[in-house]
């Protein structure tokens, strides 16, 4: 969000200097409210409402506009909602499901003899069973590298990540496979993370085939069950990803992640590619699945407004280090680090939702 603000400030400077008109196309209503003089709301190819930012956000006239405003994850709007932490039905266990200890990751720099960059710098944190911990920070902060280490896709330079007391970074063979069944990813882009040549059924049952779970009929039954869990009709099973909407594809990605009945999901920018209404639906789905299945989420994002809506605890990263951590209430209402204050100040639309 800080980079977004810098780019938009620079764009506004150019517009002001040249007297240029700007047509700004976006799904982010808070951003539109902050950066424009007039908002045109479209639905299904038609203009449904036109007005100033204040009129659109504070006094919307059309039902569709009201839906957009209600779904916009601004901090001020989220503060009026009941916190997710009071809604979790399963209490945190005596031991955390994930423990990260003194984790470091260095990458060699190309073209520089002996040069390295430390993407993750000696970080430690834990995640309790049945809760959501958000890892936030701007691009290059190291949050995705942490996720890849926990998934076993990167080897740390130092430290370790423990799943239920077992090291994902040091186990091998069958022990590593067993841990990988417990932790599954949901990636940012459902357009790129799903093989376009596969049917939806084949995409969802692929983890079952890889881990040799069940026979063909039992896997087919499991796919039907998973589609129901993510609120998709079974009639989609033989379709291809390009026949589905962005929201439907991300539901397929979630169903696929749930196929092996994991206990921990790593959601890496899982809603950032979606428009505001679909994003709200996916966040609600994740919350419902957590309540129903007792899932634990590590939610990687740069969007603090989304964090306010879904997370219980927050880890703020900058340049590979943790600069602040704590409960959602503590970090949002009483931040200590200047960098956290800067991130919070960059959230668009909060002033209008107050």
pLDDT digits (tens, 9 = 90+) for 280-328: 888 888 888 998 899 999 999 888 878 888 899 999 999 999 999 999 8
N-to-C CA span, the chain: 19
Q: How far apart are CA 183 and CA 266, in angstroms?
A: 7
| Residue 263 banded pLDDT, cuts 50, 70, 90 | very high
Which of 33-37, 69-73, 182-186, 253-257 is the least confident region? 69-73
pLDDT for 73 equals 65
pLDDT for 74 equals 56
What is the number of other CB atoms lying within 10 angstroms of the CB of residue 6? Answer: 12
341 touches 25 (CB < 8 A): no
Q: In this model, does residue 85 exceed pLDDT 80?
A: no
| Residue 77 banded pLDDT, cuts 50, 70, 90 | very low
Please tell me the number of Cα atoms within 13 Å of 7 on its side-chain side: 5
> What are the residue ranges spanned by the domains of the chain?
2-72, 86-347
Q: In this model, does residue 117 exceed pLDDT 50?
A: yes
Q: Look at the block and give the residue holding tokens 């299904």.
A: 44
Quote the Cα angle for 6-9-10, to 5°: 85
Sequence-separated (6 or more) residues with CB below 8 Å from residue 110: none
Q: Look at the block and give the residue holding tokens 């956290």.
A: 340
Q: In this model, does residue 110 exceed pLDDT 90?
A: no
Q: In this model, does residue 203 exceed pLDDT 50?
A: yes
Sequence-separated (6 or more) residues with CB below 8 Å from residue 87: 287, 291
Q: How far apart are CA 123 and CA 101, in angstroms?
A: 7
Classified as helix, coil or strand, 148 is helix
Out of 3.40.50.300, 3.40.50.2000, 3.40.50.620, 3.30.70.100, the CATH code matching 86-347 is: 3.40.50.300
- Cα 195–chain centre separation: 21
The per-residue pLDDT of the chain, averaged, comes to: 85
Q: How far apart are CA 337 and CA 325, in angstroms?
A: 10
Average pLDDT over residues 241-245: 90
- Cα 116–chain centre separation: 29
Distances (CA, A) of 63 to 33, 56, 69, 277, 352: 18, 12, 10, 13, 19
pLDDT for 266 equals 94
Average pLDDT over residues 177-200: 87
| Residue 101 banded pLDDT, cuts 50, 70, 90 | very high
């Amino acid at each position: 969000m800080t980079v977004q603000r810098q780019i938009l400030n620079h764009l506004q400077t150019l517009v002001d200097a040249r007297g240029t008109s700007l047509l700004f196309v976006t799904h982010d209503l808070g951003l539109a409210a902050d950066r424009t003089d007039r908002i045109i709301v479209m639905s299904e190819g038609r203009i449904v409402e036109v007005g100033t930012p204040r009129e659109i956000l504070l006094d919307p006239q059309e039902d569709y506009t009201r839906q957009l405003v209600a779904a916009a994850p601004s901090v001020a709007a989220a503060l009026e909602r009941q916190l997710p932490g009071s809604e979790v039905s399963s209490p945190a266990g005596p031991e955390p499901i994930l423990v990260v200890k003194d984790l470091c990751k260095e990458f060699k720099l190309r073209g520089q003899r002996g040069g390295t960059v430390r993407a993750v710098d000696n970080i430690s944190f834990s995640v309790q069973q049945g809760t959501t911990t958000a890892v936030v920070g701007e691009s290059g902060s190291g949050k995705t590298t942490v996720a890849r280490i926990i998934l076993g896709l990167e080897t740390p330079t130092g430290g370790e990540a423990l799943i239920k007391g077992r090291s994902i970074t040091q186990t091998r063979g069958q022990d590593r496979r067993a841990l990988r069944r417990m932790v599954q990813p949901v990636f940012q882009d459902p357009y790129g993370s799903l093989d376009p040549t596969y049917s939806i059924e084949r995409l969802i049952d692929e983890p079952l085939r890889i881990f040799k779970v069940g026979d063909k009929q039992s896997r087919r039954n499991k796919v039907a069950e998973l589609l129901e869990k993510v609120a998709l009709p079974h009639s989609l099973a033989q379709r291809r990803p390009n026949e589905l909407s962005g929201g439907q594809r991300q539901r397929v990605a979630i169903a696929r992640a749930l196929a092996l009945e994991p206990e921990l999901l790593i959601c890496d920018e899982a809603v950032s590619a979606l428009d505001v209404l679909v994003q709200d639906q996916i966040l609600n789905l994740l919350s419902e699945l957590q309540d129903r299945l007792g899932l634990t989420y590590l939610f990687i994002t740069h969007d603090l407004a989304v964090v306010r809506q879904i997370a219980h605890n927050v880890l703020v990263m900058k340049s590979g280090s943790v600069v602040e951590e704590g409960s959602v209430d503590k970090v949002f209402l009483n931040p200590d680090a200047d960098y956290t204050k800067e991130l919070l100040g960059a959230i668009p639309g909060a002033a209008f939702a107050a």
